[in-house]
Amino acid sequence: MADDDELDLAALSDEELVEQMHADLYDGMKEEIEEGVRILLERGWQPYRVLTEALVEGMRIVGIDFRDGILFVPEVLLSANAMKAGMTILRPRLAETNAPKVGKIVIGTVKGDIHDIGKNLVGMMLEGAGFEVIDIGINNPVENYLAALEEHKPDILGMSALLTTTMPYMKVVIDTMKEKGIRDDYLVLVGGAPLNEEFGMAVGADGYCRDAAIAVEMAKDMMARRHNVRAAAV
Ligand code: B1M
């Protein structure tokens, strides 16, 4: 028999369950998050809704208390771990698509920065939209980006940064691409919480993506435009 103190997540209404998942994410309770995600999916929730309403919103709350010094790195790491466990369940469902491959993207977090939840989410959503995604991970110096571009010949380079101290590194990457004469061979998209449109323009990116859904829209749109320009040229 279940312990009296143990909460039966399946007995909660959708609203109560989502609220409980925010609390569980806050407390870094990986198994409870996994269970919550499964329950919502069984109740017919779309994977994207589970992702945004239960997980991303929960992480937003964690971010506020992290900023205010109520939560510290070890606790936030547990939250991140629980979030990733939930994302692992959602990933194949978000990627379930029979769409033909629409393009290829290399994506990575810049040097000095180890935040990867947002980047992973963008990658998952792009996969779901039919992109081939090559994820080069975190803490990437310019050499890693250049090597990945050379090896994979993608259509798009995506860069993520979550710190005000690391976001300027995006310009280092783009300027190096310019020096090597390869800047215009790729579309460059940037994203991350501290960035904005103006910053994206200032570093010389083709687009700034506020969130994963916009990243998908922008990537698809740019691929279509590129295709049309090429078609018009022949
Ligand atoms: Co960090 N951290 N952190 N952290 N952390 C922030 C970013 C911070 C805002 C917290 C705060 O103070 N409120 C703050 C930055 C302040 C600043 O620079 N102005 C901060 C800090 C200070 C730090 C440390 C310096 C703390 C310390 O050590 N004292 C340290 C730095 C480590 C380093 O990188 N060198 C640090 C460490 C960590 C953890 C390791 C504990 C953990 C990361 C775990 C991991 O990622 N594996 C962590 C976390 C989890 C956060 C918060 C709480 C959550 C980030 C997150 O995952 N959000 C964050 C607070 C916040 O952002 N509000 C914070 C959820 C995710 C879905 O959103 O990443 O924004 P996001 O991604 C979105 C969009 O931004 C966009 O789409 C995504 C999906 O919609 N997007 C892209 C992101 N990348 C994109 C790329 C694209 C397109 C769109 O390419 C095309």
Domains and CATH numbers, the chain: 10-96 (1.10.1240.10), 104-233 (3.40.50.280)
What are the C-alpha distances in Å from 172 to residues 19, 46, 51, 55? Answer: 42, 39, 32, 33
Ranges of residues in the chain whose predicted pLDDT is under 70: 1-5, 96-100, 234
End-to-end CA distance of the chain: 71
Q: For ligand 1, what atom is nearest to the CA of residue 164?
A: 18
| Cα-to-centroid distance, 213 and ligand 1 (Å) | 18
Residue 75 and residue 127 in contact, taking contact as beta carbons nearer than 8 Å: no
* Residue 81 in contact with ligand 1 by CB distance below 6 A: no
* Residue 116 in contact with ligand 1 by CB distance below 6 A: yes
Total-model pTM: 0.92
Closest Cα to residue 168, out of 113, 108, 106? Answer: 113
Residue 177 and residue 186 in contact, taking contact as beta carbons nearer than 8 Å: yes
Distance CA 160, CA 120 (A): 10
